[in-house]
Amino acid sequence: MNELWSYLETNGGNVLTALLQHIWLALLPVAIAFVLSLPLGALAHRYGPVRHVALTTGSVVYTVPSLALLLLLPGILGTSVLDPLNVVIALTLYSLALLVRTTADGLDAVDSTVLQAATAMGYRPLRRWFAVQLPLAMPVILTGLRVATVANVSMVSVAALIGIGGLGQLFTRGFQLGFYLPPIIIGLVLSVTLAVIADVLIVALQRGLTPWSRAGAR
């Protein structure tokens, strides 16, 4: 324990920098993918061919190992191997592959009689989508968001293998020093803590956006 505190006292600034890098590298792709997944998921829900293409493409993306994709993207984009943009794009693709599927599934789960009732009340298609269909699909969508967020927190660490910042740097530093435990333990604890906090925040968001789901559970 003393060794851990000693490491933090000496390298606290570097640990904080790695943590902040990890947060934005993990959460920015999820935010981008979430915004893109709503219209793409709606199209996949509405049109069968679009759904087939979107889900097949997503499945293919998910079969590509994250390290391989991080090494492949610089050649495609013309960026440096150490450019954080590669991580953002790679994790956006992974998150999008998951969130398009859950968005389509969430919209599929909305009862058609509810939509018919909204139409009978004078709701136009766009208003009905935002006021009725999307809120009712939100529990399924946010479940996918939870999975994507926790997965991203984990996958950012892989980027350290090619020299990009984040908590993964603590793991590589510990291994380079002959399995020196303090940075490895600190990186592991911070990664798990970050994933748990992100998950709790999304659950709180889900409860705030879908209060009727709590009422129905009682």
Mean pLDDT by 10 residues, the chain (218 residues): 83 92 96 97 95 94 90 92 92 96 95 92 90 93 95 91 87 87 91 95 89 60
Q: What is the residue whose two structure tokens read 């994933």?
A: 195
Q: What is the pLDDT of residue 4?
A: 84
Q: What is the residue whose two structure tokens read 């893109």?
A: 36
Q: What is the pLDDT of residue 8?
A: 86
Whole-prediction pTM? 0.90
Kindly provide the b/e burial profile for residues 95-105, where b requires at least 16 CB atoms within 10 angstroms of the residue's own CB: bbbbbbbbbbb
DSSP 8-state symbol, 161: G
Whether 143 and 102 have beta carbons less than 8 Å apart is answered as yes
Q: What is the pLDDT of residue 2?
A: 79
Cα(34)–Cα(146) distance, integer angstroms: 11
Nearest-CA neighbor of 62 among 121, 144, 133, 129?
A: 144
Q: What is the pLDDT of residue 141?
A: 96
Q: What is the pLDDT of residue 216?
A: 52
Structure tokens at 61: 């993306």
Q: What is the pLDDT of residue 213?
A: 65
DSSP 8-state symbol, 132: I
Cα(192)–Cα(188) distance, integer angstroms: 6
Nearest-CA neighbor of 96 among 31, 143, 48?
A: 31
Helix 2-46 to helix 181-209 angle (10° resolution) is: 40
Q: What is the pLDDT of residue 104?
A: 96
Q: What is the pLDDT of residue 162?
A: 85
Q: What is the CATH code for 2-217?
A: 1.10.3720.10
Q: What is the pLDDT of residue 215?
A: 53
